[in-house]
Amino acid sequence: MHRRPVLLAISPRGVGFAVGVAFRCFTSTHAAHPLICSGSAVRYFPRNIVRVFGLRRVHQVPAEKPQGPVKSAKALVLNAGSSSLKFSVFNVDLRRKQDMAELNQPCGIQTANAMLLATGQVSDIGLESSTISYKAFIDDEQKFSTHIHVDDHKGAISEVLKLLRDPKLGVILDPAEIAVVGHRIVHGADKFNTATILTDDVIKAVEDASALAPLHNPPNLLGIRVAREIFKCPQVGVFDTAFHATIPPENYTYAIPLQLQREHHIRKYGFHGSSFCFVTGATAERLSMKRTEMNAIICHLGNGASMACIKQGRCIDTTMGLTPLEGLVMGTRSGDIDAGVVTHLINALGMSPKEVDTLLNKRSGLLGLTGHSNMQAVHAAADNGDADAALAEKIFVERIRKYIGSFLVKLEGELDALVFTAGVGENSERIRAMVCQGLGRLGMVLDTTKNTGASGVKEPAIISGVHSRTKILVVPTNEELGIAMQSVAAVGLIEPMLSPKEEAKLLMEAAKRRAEESVNGEEDEHMAMAVGGPKGVMIAASNRSEMTDSSIVEVGLMYGILPRVSKLGYFRPVAYHHADKRVNLMREVFGIGDDPETMYGVTVAQCSAMLAKKEDDKLMALILEKYQEYRQRHDFVVVSGLNQKELPQLGQDLNIRIADALNLPMVWSTDAGAFPSAGMTVSQSILSEISMSMLPGKQLKHVEVAGVVVSDLHRSHVDVIGDEVQAQLKESKIDVIATQIDNRLRVRTLREVANVLGADVLTGHDALDTHHVGRLVVATMQVPDLLKYILAKSVEEDGGHQKVTRNQIQELKAEFKKFDKEHNGKILLEEVGTLMRVIGREMTDFEEQSVMAELDKDGTGKITFQEFLLLLSRRQEEPIPGSAPLVVTHISRIDVLLSLLMASRSQAFPKIAGVLLTGGSKETLPESVHAILAGLDVVGTPVLIIPLDTFAATQRIHGLHGLAPRLLPTAKVKLQAAQELFSMFSSSDFMERLVGGSSRRRDMTSHLFQHHIFLAARRQKQRIVLPEGDDWRVLVAAGELLARDLCDLIILGDRQRVLSLAKKYHADLSKATILDVKGMSWVEKDVMVETLLKLRGTKGMTREKALDIIDQDANYFGTLMMYLHRADGMVSGACHTTADTMRPAMQIIKTEPGASLVSSVFFMLLPERVYVFGDCAINVDPSAEDLAQIAASSAATAKAFGISPRVAMLSYATGQSNTGPIVDKVRKATELVQDLITDPEIAIEGPMQFDAAVDPEVAAVKVKGGASKVAGQATVVIFPDLNTGNNTYKAVQQSTRCVAIGPIMQGLRMPVNDLSRGCTVDDIVNTVVITCIQASTAKARDVTPPQ
């Protein structure tokens, strides 16, 4: 009879009651119901009570009430040897956040997510002297050891199972509690690079690899077969060699005939993978680093020893090779040895191969040098004067140091951690000290005191000195825990508390029942969150082409919602994988700081597995649980459905079911208008798609459809199609948003190509997002011919598209007729792409498919010759913006590379997207070329390198033509296009209905601020003058401003120099006005001179002096342009002092009415709020009157930028708590400013300390006398002097790493803003945009100077 446990959930107060319950259970059901106590109360029971009643605590139960699926799972780890069996049982806690993206990497492991329940070993299997040792960690550690007789591994596992189920020592009640069995497998050859579920095919592959590990794989397989018979749960193989699968070919290939290597799989494989896997994760966790960003050298020093070189979390080299014999000196293995020694032993000494193998593997190493295989014994012998032992220590250490040097070179000197692990590494302070001796110049300094105390530690310990650039650590290894964690990850395990259907049914029914039963809106708070609560919308796509990127619509929708809610979230019910690129895109673009692990429900793999097992209800329950938990922290959540690449057969149906489960309205996106069905018009195709997928019916009866986005329409179709479809959907109350094709979204950036190829970037990193790839040029010809070819193609093409001349029309007609199979003057639209290629015109798959939507007006699927010519001419008129050729050449053609880089500096040579070197890597590129590239990096032409050959590289790039260009977080122009498209074609009414009653945003966040200022600048474009045309940063910023259509620009400087510098840095200034002051006509100069004389004549200005100033001082010239209303604002200071920038403005523009001085503010863009700091740059020691003016100006500036002005006048005391010169000055300024402010929405209080101004909790203590409109919620802070303000803004910026925009000048009639001389391109862009808004505000207030 199966025994069911009686569970006592006991608090310490309930011990007496529990004893009574236990007694009754014991006397009536003792034989059938073992007692299990959960919680911490077991320690309150007297030990005799514990023993009498058999109480035991299996593991700590969390204080919170568990909901949904069980959050832990038991994993059994087996390591079967030829005559032994090691085993461990772990309880893996699945509640803790896990970085699953890294967990699925060969080195991905979490170190703090499991608890060891039991461990042990069966030894001497098959012998009379077999023994079994066992430790259980129930309450206290309990040990057990006895002699047994087991004939084989099946008997050994049966004995282990008896112990695991023992009433006193056991940790499970039934084998079914084991959720997964993880097996250590020594060799996976080159077939496995991660933990793998053991199917019959996988087991066969392990058998095939046995020749590479004849002593290990066969017993591993024996353990697997027996475990599969006994345990019916998934079995997972964790391979020692898998961790090293990321080693590149140049590091794993031996210099012997390649044919021999390939036929017999002879190469470096590496071992100790489970240990390296675990230690990599533990080290990263100890250093608070992402594993994918960590470089480390790990020394696994035990009886078997090896090292691994870790670059960005992945192994790039190791010391062991085909077998464990290569590499370090070990207990009984020789490690590295001249291969000639083997043949010498055979030929000269007559030893057999087997004898040589035994000698090198079992009689060498420390044993051969000293007679001891144990390092402790070697140390003892050396301490007693044994010279051989002392020499052995040195040999052991020097081999390690040799590899440290080698690995350090591979890491290019960038080393985060040197790690010691395993028996010797963890316990021998002497070896660690000897290894680290003299490494200080390489950035590794050992702290001798820490080193002495680190031996035998149970947790990772840092033993490096305070001045050590590289951290040195001792990290205890735990291969069994690593195997357990990888096994759980491999099966995507979440063990349900109930059966999947019961669990899902209860959860879903409870949610809907509470929603239906709620009366007068008085719902339970928790269930309100589950059913109503924070609002959201699900967006899903039913796109017909892989050329349509559904993320564009999602980004546009997110931008539209962003200004309307306080905290916007993003959630994917089914993510492509744990490191979902869509989630990463939204996190980076919208500044969502949530843990990525919380932003999705399940992975596609997990979803597929559950659907295959018909566990649909379990799937919905898991998604619902994670979504509910996530949305409690947000005001509005955009939920992203599956797209056409993810579960293509089930995507639409599953999206509807998910929307129903989450109780969300849907916005549906479709490209049916761009790719209509054969025989249908565009409108018919769209309506057909909607009818099949979306209109209320059996599938969608519970789901509200809020809107339909019809994307990628030709611009001539947008209004017509939108109206036609909207009319058909009027009764269904579904909004239709029709958007046109935007060429900015059709470009493919060089970064996209680099990512797909996995290319290393040698130079031009900053240009990857601004260089757009057009056609490929494979450079196999000589340099003169190559340059001539590129120039000729540039002349032939117009904006990247080839012209159709009159002389070609007859030739085109002849080719057209070849495709006219019915001889009726028409060809099938599907053949247009082929015809294009026949006549030598490049056409992407996207363009080819778009033809159907644009030209198939009668729904026949055919096109006439005249329509074909119109297509060619339109392609000439509508080029993909900024696309340029990517030149591909082999690494041996350094002449091509250097010639192109030099040619790119010439204005006569056309722009190229970049140069791709094939057949090599950073390491194989000559050092001399690296040096040249480092010096030429300012050219800005990106150079990439990949190991693929030229043919394979070009094939992979051509393969991109069938896929949509990616939307990357760094692609500013594309992101802006997505934002504008949605903003242009969606109505504000639609957005308001969508957001509904969500919590409205009160304070301006940093991301919203940037969104707001860029949108405002774009809507009311201003003309800004940039006087510093000879600074490359200004020109690059100008190119970005123009590309994003944020303003009109006037750039001052020598035209040829400006254009040359712009070309050098690949800045497109074709839309800018470039003015060469010295080259201006006398008539134009005379206007400027007369204006300056009129304004400054009484101050000693003469005609000669005025002419000299205009010729020599660009800041004066730019300011005069503003005065004459030829420009709306000016930004300078990148290479001028603040005085040089501001002096002309003070003399010519002057202060606005009511302002007595010019002051400045900084916009401090912290994540949750934007603060205005003033004055931090201009006024050194302002008077009370000046402070009042600064406060009034700063409040007006804040309001102009959408920030609710709550102004705190800062001092070192709050309220009336103190007096003194500064406090009194601030107090007086606070009184004076009240007379300057007439706007009732502006609140000003002071004096106040900074913490009381911004922290509500501090304000509640320090601010007395009733409610304050400012304390604890200030948005504008005014500092008493420049010293305080300047230091505070820099301290905040450095400590929080926030963006600080400024100084922004205020008080002038027209805006002039000063840049820091150390400004970045982004600083300039931000400042120009701010200046645009100031200019627009000045015009609206009519304070600009009269002409």
- Which tokens is 1346 given? 């009269």
- Is residue 737 within 8 Å of 668, Cβ to Cβ? no
Q: Distance (Å, rounded) from C-alpha 142 to C-alpha 146?
A: 14
**Which residues face 1260 on adjacent strands?**
none
Q: Is the dihedral of CA 821, 826, 829, 833 positive or negative?
A: positive
Residue from 1091, 1086, 1049 nearest 1069 by CA: 1049
Q: How far, in Å, CA of 1234 to CA of 1192, rounded?
A: 9
Q: Residue 1021: phi, psi to the nearest 5?
A: -65, 135
Question: Cα–Cα distance between 42 and 56 in angstroms, integer?
Answer: 7
- Burial class of residue 593 (count of CB atoms within 10 Å of its CB; 0-12, 13-18, 19+): exposed
CA separation for the pair 1174, 1160 (Å, rounded): 6
For 972-1063, strand residue ranges (E) read 1023-1026, 1048-1052
| In 478-567, beta strands by DSSP E | 535-541
Distance of CA 1074 to the CA centre of its chain: 40
DSSP 446: B
User: Is the Cβ–Cβ distance between 835 and 819 less than 8 Å?
Assistant: yes
Of 485, 486, 504, 488, the residue nearest 496 (C-alpha): 504
CA distance 1068 to 1072: 9
Say how far apart CA 362 and CA 343 lie, in whole Å.
18
Q: Are 1094 and 1081 in contact (CB under 8 A)?
A: no
Helix, strand, or coil (residue 1289): helix
> Which one of 93, 99, 240, 735 is the catalytic residue?
240
How far apart are alpha carbons 1245 and 1235 in whole angstroms? Answer: 13
Q: Check if 1108 is active-site.
A: no
Task: With residue 181 as reference, give the H or E element that holds it.
Answer: strand 178-185
Q: Helices in 797-904 by DSSP H: which ranges?
A: 806-819, 832-838, 845-855, 865-877, 894-903
The encoded tokens of residue 415 equal 């080393």
E runs forming strands in 671-786: 705-713, 735-740, 760-763, 772-778
Q: How many residues does the chain have?
A: 1347
User: How far is Cα 165 from Cα 172, in angstroms, rounded to an integer?
Assistant: 5
Give the integer Cα–Cα distance in Å for 1004 and 563: 9
Which residues, in sequence order, are bridge partners of residue 146?
132
Tokens of 757: 């190829």
Checking phi first, is residue 591 left (phi over 0); if not, alpha (psi -120 to 50) or beta?
Answer: left
Q: Decide: 1051 and 1154 in contact? Cβ < 8 Å.
A: no
- Rounded to whole angstroms, the Cα distance separating 1034 from 347 reads 74
| Secondary structure of residue 137 in the 3-state scheme | strand
Q: 562, 1007 in Cβ contact below 8 A?
A: yes
| DSSP secondary structure letter of residue 1151 | B
Burial class of residue 201 in the structure, from the number of CB atoms within 10 Å of its CB (0-12 exposed, 13-18 middle, 19+ buried) = exposed
Beta strand spans in 1196-1298 (E): 1206-1210, 1243-1248, 1276-1278
Which one-letter amino acid corresponds to residue 38?
Answer: S
Structure tokens at 1264: 């007395």
- Residues that are catalytic: 240
